[in-house]
Structure 1
């Protein structure tokens, strides 16, 4: 990769604008808002991805990583990461514009931060489209990997909404049913990330003593059951207990209501994603079994 190539130039710009978006919140001190913490994580992740990929390709280490570490191609990893960071930056930009821009005295700083985040999103999107046009084959850049990532992304924003909703609420105003929903969100969150890593890294795949396809089906069944319970319980108890608790200012009370709505909607979104993933996992497992046992093909074709 030449130092003056378009791809190299885009990587530098992506790192610069992610760093600029991160700069103002960091200089203001520790971020307390869960959504602000999420945005800072996204900008940090975007900066790290741009810098690491730039250095690995500049020093020609990408081929070594592909040969030793990855199950699939380096192009699949890069394309998948670009698509994922694009989605993360889009969500972070929307969240920061809605919650922080002109929501406090330092309006100009927040506007500058949001503009840098939006520019970083555009740059990552352009690079992702360019990478996807090369049609890399693999897990991360295609439907199954992107679906797993979407589950994790929705869970991150969902947990931020739930955390913001409960900030300042006394312990006895947190019903056990709502705590159960939090447990569901927390338990289901890391598993898609782990599955993605197992699909990508050779060593992790070699440590498994059972078929990953069967594991995915089992996890999806459990996740769908857990999210169904949360989709029923959360709206009932959350809206019921919305007006319970210590008095708040109108703005804080309204923010809790928005958090409640966001958590409700995102619970149903993730439930839908897990249902789709379950269907695809069952189809993939059936196809694998159909190929593995040729006798079944002979029986079903009528050739006795």
Structure 2
């Protein structure tokens, strides 16, 4: 090993890139993925290639020192991104196994094996970085909650998309569309808040405090998510009998319902922490 791959963290990142790339390549050569769940898996593998690659290059070139003005806590960022990659690739591995694997699908089984190995490597990398106890936003309870909210919202939106793709083309109840808009908007704002907390200089552009912004958003998110959950449950399960793909319909409906309830709990906890931090 040479260059940035001399150390144990460097070797782990190299393995993350290799096994994520192998998973992606097998799927690409197998054929185009049209299922939203397949697209999610492909996105995750690409993300898990890019993140360790970029982190390795930045650290090898010592660019993170130059970025200290914008990103004052590089260790926290790398740890947070590694944790996110571990969660994402674990979800992609489980989803791929549940949706695409069959006993005669050799390529899918190989893809699953490589993805499992990549997930294990990311988990090992996560544990090693957590043992160093990095301090910063992404390592704090608020940062972990925000990351969990964004990740859960991605799963929710993927399941909702799969539900409509596999269902009747005219099955688009207004209430369910409103729920999806709520999930998407809250995801967007959550990502913006994470970025603002990481890039301290951007906070100067705000005419009000970031804590106040988070408090207002958390209140709105709790109310909107509560409304979205009710609308999704009422309109989704009321019309699910009209969907010819009953199994897929209920699977995706349940995934969105459970995910939305979980995210609602996350936002409630985040709201409580917002009040405590004032």
Whether TM exceeds 0.5 here: the answer is yes
1:23 equivalent among 25, 31, 43: 25
Q: 1:274 to 1:35 in 2, by over 3 A?
A: same
Could you list the structure 1 runs, at least 4 aligned residues long, displaced by more than 6 angstroms after superposition: none
Q: State the partner residue of 1:235.
A: 233
Aligned pair 1:84/2:93, yes or no? no
Whose Rg is larger?
A: 1
| Structure 1: tracts of 5 or more residues without a match | 287-304
Structure 1 residues 274 and 22: CA distance shift in structure 2, 3 A = same
TM-score between both structures, scaled by the size of structure 1: 0.87
Instruction: Report what 1:34 is aligned to.
Output: 36
Distance apart, 1:186 and its partner CA: 1.4
Q: Is structure 2 residue 270 aligned with structure 1 residue 270?
A: no
Alpha-carbon deviation of 1:170?
A: 4.2
**Secondary structure at the counterpart of residue 209 of structure 1:** coil
Distance 1:270 1:258 in 2: 18
Contact kept in structure 2, 1:80 and 1:142, CA below 8 Å: no
Written as runs of structure 1 = structure 2, the 5 A alignment for 1:170-181 is 170=168, 172-181=170-179
Is structure 2 residue 57 aligned with structure 1 residue 59?
A: no
Q: 1:1-304, aligned counterparts within 5 Å?
A: 3-65=5-67, 67-70=68-71, 72-102=72-102, 107-170=105-168, 172-245=170-243, 248=244, 252-284=245-277, 286=278
Distance 1:166 1:3 in 2: 45
Worse-superposed segment, 196-205 or 40-49: 196-205
Secondary structure of 2:241's counterpart equals coil
Distance between the aligned counterparts of 1:89 and 1:2, measured in 2?
Answer: 23
Bigger mean CA deviation after superposition, 34-43 or 177-186: 177-186
How many matched pairs? 276
Partners in 1 of 2:37 and 2:180 — Cα distance? 17
In structure 2, list runs of 5 or more residues that go unmatched. Answer: none
Structure 1 vs Structure 2 CA RMSD: 1.6
The whole-number CA distance in structure 2 between the counterparts of 1:191 and 1:117 is: 30
State the alpha-carbon separation in 1 of the partners of residues 233 and 204 from structure 2: 42
